[in-house]
Structure 1
Amino acid sequence: MNKETSSDSYGRSLRSSSDLHRHTSNDNHGNSVHSSDDQDVHVFTGHDDAMQPATRELSRTQTLLNKVSSRISFFNERLNAERISLSWKVLGIYGIMGFFILAIFSIYWGSIYRREYRYKNLRMLVVIEDEDTVNGIAPIIGETIRSILATPPAMALGKWLIQNTTEFNALAQRHNNSVFEEIQRQVHHQHYWSSIYVPRNATVGLYEAILAGDVSYNVSANTAISYYETGRDFLSMNQYVTPNVQRIQSMFLRHQQNITSTILGNSDLSQVFNNLNSLTVAATPMEWTFMDGRPFKDPVLLAPSQVGLIYMIIITFFSFNFFSDIHQSVAKMGIKIPHLVLYRILSAILSFFVISFFYSLVTLVFQVDFTRTFGHSGFIVYWMTNFLTMWAVGAMNEAMGMVFIMLYPPLLGFWMLFWVIVNISPTFAPLALSAKFFRYGYGMPIHASYEITKVIFFNTYKGALGRNYGILVAWCVIASVLLLVVFKKFGQVMGGRAAAQRAQIEKELNEKRARDEEGEIDFS
């Protein structure tokens, strides 16, 4: 019985061994693997992938459970060092952001600060021809205006430059102009922001009109005329310049009763009071005539003349991001370095040329008049101006973008803020009303573009066109050279970083292979 049992057991063992041998084979490494005709037999060879699915799933579950069970509180003592390190990093980031916010935004805030105390920097032309006594009538109107402009309240509203009439008449004659035409010329050439002109014999003319009851007499035009050009700075003129002249007019109107009484002091008042027309002329307010030589008529012009200039800077930054993939693809082609650099510069210029066309087209679509100064060529002039402006500010954006990517990418946003604010702060208000620091704006590309745009849309003084185009071209050259230098450095730095990353990846892969080879268990 025992022999039979032993024989049976020995036979079953042989059959099991035979079956096991029949259902297994060796892989290339000598490890045992399972044949396809028996899915129930699994042999562990020392690798995780040799484990049964259920076993692997259990292993993953246990690993997740271990991770969950090993989670600790953020305030655990073991994390003291990490918490301190993170806290210092957060404080450092806040410090960097706070510094740049204070530094950059202070530029714009500073351009607005205490403007009301700088009205005295606004040059105002004053020509008073009512200065002679005629037929016993003293020039009361001219004298009253002269005395008002000498008071502290009036002097705080502008720099009132009262001209010597003899010298000013000689200046007008040299230009073949009348006195008032010369006033218009001086204001148009932007030597003055506005003007006050008191015509010759203004007081006598009013006196005679009152006595004669001449209701056709234009009291306003024959008292004083203020000539100005809103197109020179359409926001500032309406916000600062013209209102200040109107305040001087209000001061003058407070003296009207005294002026009229003085004029009629030696006259037969019964002759005046018995004539209704005389009373009408005498009671007519001596409001001045305000003449706008370059009026602001189209509100759409606010977009391309001011706010659009900000968008112009921003859109050039967008193009830098949009074309980054294409630039990387070209860089991977293996072309010569000089050709790559040339491509980079020319592609940027081409982008500014095309984008500036679409930017200019928006203004044309909304039916802005381009013919006022340059006729039907106005749109081309406007487009080329925008092209140069985009080239100037956009090339700087691309160059500085690469600089900050190399140094510290989060600062790229602050560069954009800085570049916008440093351009618009001295542009959107008269520099005469800002601190002297902001006179740097005369050399900025956006300020130059703004001045050219006003010539295109309002036909303002063209004498500064050459200077402003020269500023734009100079910025284009400077920005292009900077882009060239930075691009070469950028390629070297980023190439070195890519090589270092590849070396690190290869190192990690080699270490992983070494660990895998050490962990293999060979059952062959």
Structure 2
Amino acid sequence: MGSDKSEDISNHSLEQDSDTYNMDDRQPNLAQQRLTENSDSSGTPVYAGHADNNQEDNAVQQQQLNAKVSGADDQSAPKANEQDQALSQQSPASPQYISFFSRDYKPHRRKIHKRFLLINLLMSSLILIAFSIYWGSYYDINDNLKNLKFLVVIGDEQTVDGVEPVFGNAMDDILQRPQAKASGDWHIYKESEFENLANEHNNTIRGEILRRVHHQLYWSAIYVKPNASYNYVQALKKGDTSYNASDNTVTAYYETGRDFLAMRSYVTPQLSKIQSMWFEQQPNLLSQLSENITIQSQQQKQLYAQPIHFTMVDRIPFTDNVLSAPLQVGFIYMIIVSFFQFNFFADAHLKVAKSPINRLHYVVYRYISSICSFFFLSLMFGLVTLAFQVDFTPTYGRSGFLVYWCISFLTMSAVGLATEIMGMFIIPFYPPLLGFWLILWVISNIAPTYTAMALTNNFFRYGYAMPIHNSYEAVKTVFFDVYKGQLGRNFGILVAWVVLLSVIFPFAVMYFGKAMGKKAAVAAQQEAAKRAESEKKTSGDV
């Protein structure tokens, strides 16, 4: 009977240990240690952390333990029973919660407040720096309108058969007014003066005007036709209703394709202001020209009542609204996609880095994989534009799509490599800064691109060296037959960015590997220290 009772007590003790382990996973070692003590073994106690590495030793010890427990006498039962009762009375340590505003939490609260303040100061500083660049590109634009260069050629400059050049003189007077000077930088030539410039390029007057506008020497040109006043008087005398006074008096030339944003927002509105001033003067002008003419016929009255407005000639119109996408937000998306490429491939690059690959080969792999991604993603940009039936042929014919793809590839390589390099420097230091780098990189590229340089502060001249500005200028030559004289500079700057960043890229990869390795080593040391402290504490409790 004593043996059966002892056996029942021992079995109950084992079952109780098992229940304790299942109910409280945070203290799995105590039951195993108690069993080890009951076995009177002189071996080292088996902890849960050692079990994975010493499974065979644990199995042997468990067999010995079971044999000893099953053969225990009645004297060992009370001792085991006391330990079982003591262990069963120990409830698992439940977490203790305290108020955020309690005195005990004051040290932690101070750290939280300090961290909160520092982070907000950092974010505020970055916002002020980044957003000030973009806001600044629009600052004082109205005051800078006077910097827009306009060409004015006055062909109506001579008195013919007693008819004075009223239209030509009126245009000259209007452009001398302060309101007109605040609307642009007007370069005024008499036709006799401008003819010498035209002869230097073997051009007619009109041909030279169009050449200078096309070569982007001027945003627009106003041409007062030769002998416009005399021709109007002759048509008025005859009552010639077929005479179009507007077409034969003042014509304004411009090219919207040069910069459809600036042209619509700033250039044509300034021409409209001059035209409004012209309309104000028109009654006086027509009165001077008709003072010696008797207006009796209906035809004469009809011609006299006809308003003489500017004939607006858009040499390169912006007709496809789909182009607003690749020429505006498309560049922003290009930078963002290059950033996503860096994030999307992070896990793949990590796996390759952990593999037994030669370090030099890993650097080459990183660079080639990025360039190949940019090559493929830039193709997608072109295909999306092509899918919406945008015409790529105005300038380069059927090769237009390939030219666009080439520009997009160089652009994405430039902005993408810059993002990767900055990411590899930022992540080991403070990963959240990478998001602000993206904002700063977008703004610093877009600010001097979407606002005409002539309207911005001199600070934004840095944009001439930025990838997006040069890409924007190059892409416009694909969709519009605009001046290509700057195309060599645009491609040269894009290639220079790619070459420079390609040289920096290997050093950034090596720095990133070392920095992340150091962080991992520090983290491992801290984890090992915590584990050792936990094991030491557990041993002390036992």
Query: Normalising by structure 2, what TM-score?
Result: 0.86
CA shift, 1:28, in A, is 4.4
Query: In the alignment, which of 199, 204, 217 is matched to residue 173 of structure 1?
Result: 199
SS in 2 for 1:266: coil
Deviation digits for residues 78-117 of structure 1 (CA, Å, limit 9, x no counterpart): 2222222211111111111111111110110000011011
Contact 2:7 2:70 in 1 (8 A): no
Alignment of 1:192-211 (within 5 A): 192-211=218-237
Deviation at 1:425, TM superposition (A): 0.3
Q: Secondary structure at the match of 1:187?
A: helix
| Structure 1, unaligned runs of 5 or more | 1-11
Deviation of the 1:17 alpha carbon:
4.7
- Are 1:430 and 2:456 an aligned pair? no
CA offset digits 1:240-286 (Å, max 9, x no partner): 1011111101101111111111112233x2xx2x2111111111101
Structure 2 residue corresponding to 1:59, chosen from 91, 96, 104? 91
Q: CA deviation at 1:21?
A: 8.1
Measure the CA separation in 2 of the matches of 1:45 and 1:514.
26
Helix, strand or coil at the partner of 2:137: helix
For the 8 Å contact 2:339–2:419, the answer to whether it is kept is yes
* Pairing 1:293–2:325 present: no
Write the mapping of 1:67-146 to structure 2, written as runs, cut at 5 A: 67=95, 70-146=96-172
1:215–1:518 distance in 2 versus 1, CA, 3 Å:
same
Which deviates the most, 216-225 or 19-28? 19-28
* 1:51-96 deviations in Å (ceiling 9; x for gaps): 69x949x723xx32xx3xx432222122222222211111111111
2:48 corresponds to: none
Correspondence for 1:346 among 339, 343, 368:
368
SS at match of 2:253: strand
- 2:215 is the counterpart of 1:223: no
1:421 and 2:421 correspond: no
Shift of 1:225: 0.4
CA distance in 1 between partners of 2:77 and 2:384 (Å): 74
> How big is the shift at 1:506?
3.4
Aligned in 2, Cα 1:18/1:189: closer, same or farther, shift over 3 Å?
A: closer
Amino acid in structure 2 at the alignment position of 1:469 = F
**Partner Cα distance (2:149, 2:205) in 1:** 18
Offset at residue 306 of structure 1 (A): 1.0
Give 1:18 deviation, angstroms: 7.2
Q: CA deviation at 1:238?
A: 0.9
Q: Is the 8 A contact 2:363 2:506 kept in 1?
A: yes
CA deviation digits over 1:468-513, x for unaligned, max 9? 0011011111222232221111111111222222333334444444
What secondary structure, in the 3-state scheme, does the structure 1 residue paired with 2:312 have?
strand
**Who is 1:439 aligned against?**
461
Question: Does structure 1 retain, via aligned residues, the 8 Å contact 2:9–2:77?
Answer: no
Q: After superposition, where does 1:448-487 map in structure 2 within 5 Å?
A: 448-487=470-509
* Structure 2 letter corresponding to 1:140: V
Give distance in 2, aligned partners of 1:223 and 1:427: 36
**Closer, same or farther in 2 for the Cα pair 1:317/1:15, shift >3 Å?**
closer
Q: Does 1:504 align with 2:530?
A: no
- How has the CA–CA distance of structure 1 residues 202 and 22 changed in structure 2, closer, same or farther, with 3 Å as cutoff? closer
* Aligned residue in 2 for 1:9: none
**Alpha-carbon separation, structure 2, partners of 1:287 and 1:186:** 23
From 147, 150, 153, the equivalent of 2:179 is 153
CA distance in 2, matches of 1:73, 1:21: 46
2:213 is matched with which residue: 172, 180, 187?
187
Q: How many angstroms does 1:396 deviate by? A: 0.4
Map of 1:279 onto structure 2: 301
Tell me how far apart the structure 1 counterparts of residues 506 and 192 of structure 2 sit (CA, whole Å).
59
Shift in Å, 1:375:
0.4
Counterparts of 1:301-340 in structure 2, within 5 Å, are 301-340=323-362
Letter in 1 for 2:444: V
SS at match of 2:301: helix
Alignment partners' CA distance in 2, 1:123 and 1:352: 39
Deviations 1:416-473 (A, max 9, x none): 1100000000000111011111111111100000001111101100000000001101
1:254 is paired with a residue of what secondary structure? helix
Check whether the contact 1:44–1:51 (CA below 8 A) recurs between aligned residues.
no
One-letter code aligned to 1:370: F
Q: Secondary structure at the match of 2:187?
A: strand
Partners of 1:340 and 1:81 lie apart in 2 by 46
Indicate the RMSD between aligned Cα atoms, in angstroms.
2.7
Change over 3 Å in CA distance of 1:515–1:77 after alignment to 2: closer
Give the 3 Å change call, closer, same or farther, for CA 297–34 of structure 1 in structure 2.
farther
Tell me what 2:419 maps to: 397
Q: How far apart are 1:13 and its partner, in Å? A: 4.1
Name structure 2 gaps, 5 residues minimum. Answer: 15-37, 40-58
State whether residues 130 and 142 of structure 1, in contact with CA within 8 Å, keep that contact through their aligned partners in structure 2.
yes
Q: Secondary structure at the match of 1:372?
A: coil
Distance of aligned partners of 1:517 and 1:116 in 2 relative to their CA distance in 1, 3 Å threshold: same
Q: Note closer, same or farther for the CA distance 1:18–1:291 as it changes in structure 2 (3 Å cut).
A: closer
For the residues of structure 1 that align with 2:540 and 2:348, how far apart are their CA atoms?
A: 45
The superposition leaves residues 207-228 of structure 1 with CA deviations (integer Å, 9 ceiling, x where unpaired) of 0000011111111111100000
Residues in 2 aligned to 1:443 and 1:513: alpha-carbon distance in whole angstroms: 60
Output the CA distance in 1 between the equivalents of 2:284 and 2:116.
71
Distance 2:242 2:7 in 1: 133
Which deviates further from its counterpart, 258-267 or 429-438?
258-267
Q: CA, structure 1 residues 45+134, in 2 after alignment: closer, same or farther (shift >3 Å)? A: farther
* Amino acid paired to 1:260: L
Instruction: Specify whether residues 59 and 170 from structure 1 end up closer, same or farther in structure 2 by C-alpha distance, changes over 3 A only.
Output: same
Q: What is the deviation of 1:45?
A: 9.5
Larger relative CO (CA 8 A, sep 6+): 1 or 2?
A: 1
Secondary structure, counterpart of 2:104 in structure 1:
helix
